[in-house]
Structure 1
């Protein structure tokens, strides 16, 4: 039997506001409610972004702690809580790494092109990646292009990334016209990653997010869905909330031969703790 499908929900992202969707969760209480709803819909992980008092993207450790505490109080250990280091043109690699070291989250997503943009950062990045391993912080490495994948391979080969079987996220549509994606966009990523020993997930911008997620499920990967990348259901209507996007994928996973993973199953599959 194939491994169960790990569905991650990305409920808000760094840029969207309540004006984009009234149900976009921003406050700790809103994130906690969204976490509970998405857990019931089939999510095993929540990808958290936090905001400052003006609603702007933030990597503030105390804001993260408040959000994580609220989510954990609501769902316990029934969801993996993943922080993001996304820069959004505000934070440099040093600031991103300092935040993770101080916060010490259960899991964290890291864009390779931000954390280790080139050879000049490799020594510092290697120390950081080793710290994650030693501290028991589970990293997910974000890759936006074939070029990112090629560089990621080099980092694995050279030992800069010490993980023997890393988990990566292929992002479809971030740099395409109109930031839209299609299931076929996954194929060049898989071709570039052929032979690389890794687990992988997909997230996709635009109305075909669900189709991309199910394509990943059919090809043995995992997926991330939510308002960060898309507000639309498969029929073109606006989703009432993040849970509807999770349920849409979870409800169809069986057609791809996959059951839906719980957080406990996801932790086991990902080698977490």
Structure 2
């Protein structure tokens, strides 16, 4: 079995220090956590930036500052920015972030950008024109249907074939389980698969996804704070190191 790429998502859009003291919010904290995770085995980073009050931000200036510093301290680490709205941003603002920043790699939640189909088509076309790699975020079959319709009608270019299946949910809170991927698998044939999962079964979900051909496994405090035994991870790097160890054993 080929060992998938490990991606770390160290903070996300919603959690704060009250959830975990080591959840990174500032630029320095994010850079430090990213470097620790890189050294622990994460080859890529799912990057969120926060404003001065700790709120989720799509500010391109903050993104550029973070990307520049990450390229300096961890030049071998691939970085994916998020265009996540998180209830704060419109599709137009999501498009503006991607257009102005021109990142190498970005995640886009299908259900969020589909709120405005015209802007959604512009976003995917702009990404194709500027060479931005897109990872489509799907939570359920309805999201996959948006993706498949877009690929069929040409509004989503066929080469944008990377999908991350999210097992579990934020609202209402629901922990993921390894079997959750089976409900989505009939509709992801021919797509490049990544997986992340909410809750303490995160690692079991990711190991199962690796056995089913996932190319990228996303781990970290955005989705889960707990180790398999139910205790808090001390930091994101510990979750990365544990997943890497289990993947290597599984592949042996």
Give yes or no for TM over 0.5.
yes
Question: In the TM superposition, what is the alpha-carbon distance from 1:185 to its structure 2 partner?
Answer: 0.9
CA contact (8 A) 1:145 1:189 kept: yes
Aligned residue among 241, 248, 252 for 1:247: 241
Question: How many equivalent pairs are there?
Answer: 251
Q: Does 1:204 align with 2:197?
A: yes
Q: Give distance in 2, aligned partners of 1:99 and 1:175.
A: 24
How far does the alpha carbon of each residue in 1:113-144 deviate from its partner, in whole angstroms, 9 at most, with x for none? 11123xxx334322321221221111100011
| TM-score, L = length of structure 2 | 0.94
Partner of 1:13, secondary structure, is coil
Q: Does 1:35 align with 2:2?
A: no
Question: In the TM superposition, what is the alpha-carbon distance from 1:176 to its structure 2 partner?
Answer: 7.1
Q: CA RMSD in A?
A: 1.6
2:13 equivalent in structure 1: 14
**In structure 2, do the counterparts of structure 1 residues 4 and 239 end up closer, same or farther at CA, with 3 Å as the change threshold?**
same
Aligned residue among 91, 103, 115 for 2:113: 115
CA contact (8 A) 1:225 1:246 kept: yes
Moved beyond 6 Å, runs of 4+: none
Greater mean alpha carbon deviation, residues 203-212 or residues 124-133? 124-133
Partner of 1:182, secondary structure, is coil
How far does the alpha carbon of each residue in 1:219-250 deviate from its partner, in whole angstroms, 9 at most, with x for none? 11021010011111112111011011111111
Q: Give distance in 1, aligned partners of 2:99 and 2:158.
A: 18
Q: Give distance in 2, aligned partners of 1:21 and 1:79.
A: 24
2:85 equivalent in structure 1: 87
Question: In the TM superposition, what is the alpha-carbon distance from 1:165 to its structure 2 partner?
Answer: 5.6
Partner of 2:79, secondary structure, is strand
Q: Does 1:156 align with 2:159?
A: no
Q: Give distance in 2, aligned partners of 1:60 and 1:165.
A: 24
Unaligned 5+ segments in structure 1 are: 259-273
2:224 equivalent in structure 1: 230
Unaligned 5+ segments in structure 2 are: none
